[in-house]
């Protein structure tokens, strides 16, 4: 399984419908679930939270938690469900996550995280990876990052995904924490140089494949977040530009048509249309008709009984405006 290019776990975004659509665009990228807390898996709707389509492989489950026993139990669930990797979230700065004593606040507790990783590694055969920040609050980034990574590496973690920003646990919202703290890519590069045996994946502020290729000259992998969701067509070039595969020749309209059989199956199970079309709203961004397409989906996919016809109508709007622009 390659970590060369992956799509970041994003709450309320990278659900199973999103991942299925992303897999239509790229066969090579590693996909991640939204973060799932250990409490939700142990006490909540386990089957729903672990659900994914076989077409999503390779796909990793991201866990949020800080109790080794709970994480072991959930890692075993992930392995039994067929996930290709389990990832521990040590990067989320939200207050809700802090109150649960996991996420970015655990950057201050590398020994505890090491114990969690060691326990999971002993319990499952699939890889156990960690996603972290370069530090939190007033920590000195190099000292915090290197010390944290060395501890989890001693526990058996072979792959670390580093969001190249600090997290400020007080005073900044989760959204601001994704944008305000400055990026420090050179520090992540330095980590890879200093720890050549460790697989280092960089995350944060990466919006184009050209940027991804630049990072790959210094680290082992790149994780793209919001750009992959908001502008999903960027993923259509991943297999060629990042992995050297032949051009597939897929068009945006063809990708949407390829998504429709999945949508039909899910509609038959009672899944509302807008739960799936929210993931394709940005597909035609930058092209004539994109605004009409987004508006039609947004206004009509939420209606009771909405079906595939809504997608066909939105696609027709794109084609009509495209034809007018080309005339």
C-alpha 161/C-alpha 129 separation (Å) is 8
Cβ–Cβ under 8 Å, residues 132 and 107:
yes
C-alpha 70/C-alpha 64 separation (Å) is 10
Q: Please write down the long-range contacts of 13-19, taking CB distance under 8 Å and 24 or more positions apart.
A: 13/229, 13/279, 14/229, 15/275, 15/279, 16/51, 16/52, 16/53, 16/56, 17/262, 17/266, 17/271, 17/275, 17/276, 17/279, 18/229, 18/279, 19/52, 19/53, 19/56, 19/59
Asked if the bond preceding 201 is cis, omega within 30° of 0, the reply is no
Residue 69, Cβ neighbours under 10 Å: how many?
12
C-alpha 211/C-alpha 164 separation (Å) is 14
In three-state secondary structure terms, 35 is strand
Based on its alpha-carbon atoms, the radius of gyration of the chain, rounded to whole angstroms, reads: 20
- Write down the catalytic residue from 92, 105, 132, 157: 92
74 is catalytic: no
Annotated catalytic residues are 92
């Amino acid at each position: 399984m390659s970590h060369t290019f992956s799509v970041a776990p994003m709450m309320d975004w990278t659900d199973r419908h999103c991942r299925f659509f992303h897999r239509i665009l790229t066969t090579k990228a590693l996909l991640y679930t939204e973060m799932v807390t250990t409490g939700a898996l142990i006490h909540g709707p386990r089957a729903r939270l672990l659900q994914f389509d076989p077409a999503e492989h390779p796909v990793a489950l991201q866990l949020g938690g800080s109790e080794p026993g709970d994480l072991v139990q959930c890692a075993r669930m992930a392995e039994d469900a067929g996930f290709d990797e389990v990832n521990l979230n040590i990067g989320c700065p939200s207050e809700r996550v802090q109150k649960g004593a996991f996420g970015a606040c655990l950057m201050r507790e590398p020994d505890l995280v090491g114990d969690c990783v060691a326990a999971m590694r002993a319990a499952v055969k699939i890889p156990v990876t960690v996603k972290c920040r370069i530090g939190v609050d007033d920590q000195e980034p190099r000292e915090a990052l290197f010390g944290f990574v060395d501890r989890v590496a001693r526990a058996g973690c072979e792959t670390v995904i580093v969001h190249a920003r600090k997290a400020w646990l007080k005073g900044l919202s989760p959204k601001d924490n994704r944008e305000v703290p400055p990026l420090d890519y050179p520090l992540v590069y330095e980590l890879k140089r200093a720890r050549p045996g460790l697989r280092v994946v960089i995350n944060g502020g990466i919006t184009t494949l050209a940027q991804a290729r630049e990072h790959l000259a210094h680290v082992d992998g790149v994780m793209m977040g919001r750009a992959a969701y908001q502008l999903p067509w960027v993923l259509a070039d991943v297999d060629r530009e990042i992995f050297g595969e032949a051009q597939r020749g897929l068009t945006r309209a063809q990708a949407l048509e390829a998504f429709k059989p999945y949508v039909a199956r899910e509609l038959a199970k009672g899944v509302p249309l807008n739960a799936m079309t929210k993931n394709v709203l940005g597909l035609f961004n930058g092209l004539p008709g994109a605004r009409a397409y987004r508006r039609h989906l947004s206004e009509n996919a939420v209606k009771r009984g909405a079906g595939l016809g809504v997608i066909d109508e939105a696609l027709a709007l794109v084609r009509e405006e495209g034809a007018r622009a080309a005339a």
